[in-house]
Each structure stands twice: as C-alpha cells, then as structure tokens.
Amino acid sequence: MRILLSLCLMLCAPLLEAQSFKIATLAPEGSSWLREMRAAAEEAKQRTDGRVTFRYYPGGVMGDDATVMRKIRLGQLQGGALTASELSIVYPDAVVYGLPFLFEGPEQVAAVRSEVDPLLKSGIRAKGFEVLSISGVGFAYLMSTRPLQSIEHLRAGKVWIPNNDLISERTFTSGGVSPIPLPLSDVFTSLQTGLIDIVGNTPAGAIALQWHTRIKHLFDAPLALVVGYVVLDNRAFGRLSEGDRAIVLEAFGRASQRIDAENLRADVSALAALEAEGVQRFRPDAAELARWREVGLAVRRSMIERGELSAEMVDAVLARLPTAPAGDGIAP
C-alpha cells in the first residue's frame, strides 16, 4: 500500500506544480512589448515542459490598471502590466524613476537601474507581488500646441496630467500650474477642442496616439522616465517550484532587456519623425534648465515630507546617479 501511495504521489506531483497565469495589459495586440512578453512566456513554457503557461489579455479588455489590480486581488487575474502610478498604491516607491528632471540621458538610467531595480523588486515582493519585468518605456517630454520655452509659458498653458498620477500633479503644482487630469483616451479630443494645449509623453507614444497631428512644439529636456511593471500575485507565483520560478524570472528578465533597447531605439526614431512633421524642438540653456531642475528638487522634497516616497529609495537613486556629459540625450 505504501509503495502504491508513493507512486501515486510521484505521478501527481508535476500536475500539482502546473500553473497558468492570466495577465492583463493596456498594450495593444501587435505591439513590440506584447511580442516580447509572449516570447518570454513561450520560453518559460518550453523550459518547464509545459508546467508554466501565460495568457495575455491585451488592449485594456480587462479594464484600466485600477480594475486590473482589483481583479488580481479577487483572483480573477494573476498578474498585470501596470504603470508605476497604479503600483504605487501598494508600494509608493514604485514611482521613483518618474521623478521630474531626475535623468539627463539613457547612460544615467542604465547606471541607476542596475543597482536600484533589485531594491524595487524586493520592496514590491514584500507587498505581495513578484516583479517579472521592469521595462523602460522611454523619456517623456513636454509637448505643446504653441511655443513652450520657459516655466512662464508652462504656467500660461492648459496642462494635461493622467488621472491618479501623483508625481505629475506634484510636479506641475510645484511649478505654479493647475493641471487638468484626464484619462488617456480623452487627450486627443481635448487637444482638438483646446481644453488642453500641453501634454507629456514619449515621442513614440505621441505618434502612436496621433497626438503629433496636433502638437507643434517640444521642450527638449527629458521630463521623466516612464517605466512599466509586470507583476504576479505572490500567492500564485509561490505555487511554482523553486526551479520553475527561476526559469520564469530569467525569461522575463531577458525580455525586459530587449524591450528597454527597442524602446530606446523607437524614441530616437520617433523624435526624428516629429521633426520631419514640423514639430519644433526647443533646447533650453543651462540657466533655464536649472530653473526646471529646481522644480524637480522641490517635488522630491515634498513627496518625502508627505510620506509619498521614502528618503532611503530616493537616496539610493541619487547615490548611483552619475553626472551626464554635456549634450547627453536620447538623440543627437
């Protein structure tokens, strides 16, 4: 009897380890991000002999990030590709890379992320989520339907911020601006009607959303680094064996590196495409840029004082932030 029981347990063990993960994302079908995520899923499936599979729900069919988070808690989904803003609800330091005027170029980002990504993953894990991927979407720039060359121009404009984007709200209010929060889906129409005339986005994002047909000016200094997280509920991830967890993290880690490189190339090309469409780039001088960086410093201090960011995480970033050479940026 004991022998039969042992054999049964041995035969059933692989079945008990099998796990399928449902992941929701706003990324549309056919996007390079989703292509790489599917490649990571296929690698994990092959290397685990089919014990680990992933199913993606693209294009926002599962709702916005807040809805996805709720469905993860209810067990209807096991994971999601989330913005830093939404993830900050469970782990405030998730937004640290998006602090305004923190980075000057991709070399700085690479130096910081190699050391700080593991700290963020550890902090998020403690809040109940395993991070499969932190991907750099690119640098967001301020873009406008009219000339944008100074803080005074910004204050005179009608500035859009995404709903629930705490850092954007703090940034613009610190600069003396009353921003207009809107969902992403309303931005294009609002540019057409004049409800807003200043937006922030990556060059590639502006083209993908057709905003480039309305904007005419770009303030040529990186406003913030945009990052996205792919997270899994720890309870679901913990059902995998230690070996299978390692395989999944390796596969998605490599995919994240490919996404970072592709997004950097995409923004360089998109910035050139915006210029070709007649968008004028304004390069601020050192004095003007220093004024904007003072706004960034004020935002950091304010968020730390309010408990919206930890001083320890901000210090970890600043300690690893090398000085960028003059003229550094995403494009020559």
Percent of the chain topping pLDDT 90 = 77
- Mean pLDDT score of the chain: 89
DSSP state of 25: -
**Closest CA relative to residue 188, chosen from 169, 207, 165, 204:** 207
Q: Alpha-carbon distance 327 to 332, whole Å?
A: 8
pLDDT digits (tens, 9 = 90+) for 249-299: 999 999 999 999 999 899 899 999 999 999 999 999 999 999 999 999 999
pLDDT digits (tens, 9 = 90+) for 239-248: 999 999 999 9
Q: Alpha-carbon distance 73 to 56, whole Å?
A: 17
Q: Which of 186-200, 263-277, 311-325 has the lowest mean pLDDT?
A: 311-325
Q: Assess whether pLDDT exceeds 90 at residue 30.
A: no
Question: What is the crossing angle of helices 242-276 and 32-47, to 10°?
Answer: 160
Phi, psi of 183 (to 5 degrees): -70, 155
Q: How confident is the model at residue 8 (pLDDT cuts 50, 70, 90)?
A: very low
Of the candidate CATH numbers 3.40.50.2300, 3.40.109.10, 3.40.470.10, 3.40.190.170, the domain formed by 18-319 belongs to 3.40.190.170
Any idea where the domains of the chain sit in the sequence?
A: 18-319
Model pTM? Answer: 0.85
pLDDT digits (tens, 9 = 90+) for 145-192: 999 999 999 999 999 998 878 899 999 998 889 999 998 889 999 999
Can you list the pairs that 60-64 forms with residues at least 24 positions away whose Cβ atoms lie under 8 Å? 60/25, 60/26, 61/24, 62/24, 63/24, 64/26, 64/183
Spatial neighbors of 16 by CB under 8 A, at least 6 apart, are none
**Contact between residue 44 and residue 52 where contact means Cβ atoms under 8 Å apart:** yes
**Which three-class secondary structure state does DSSP give residue 202?**
coil
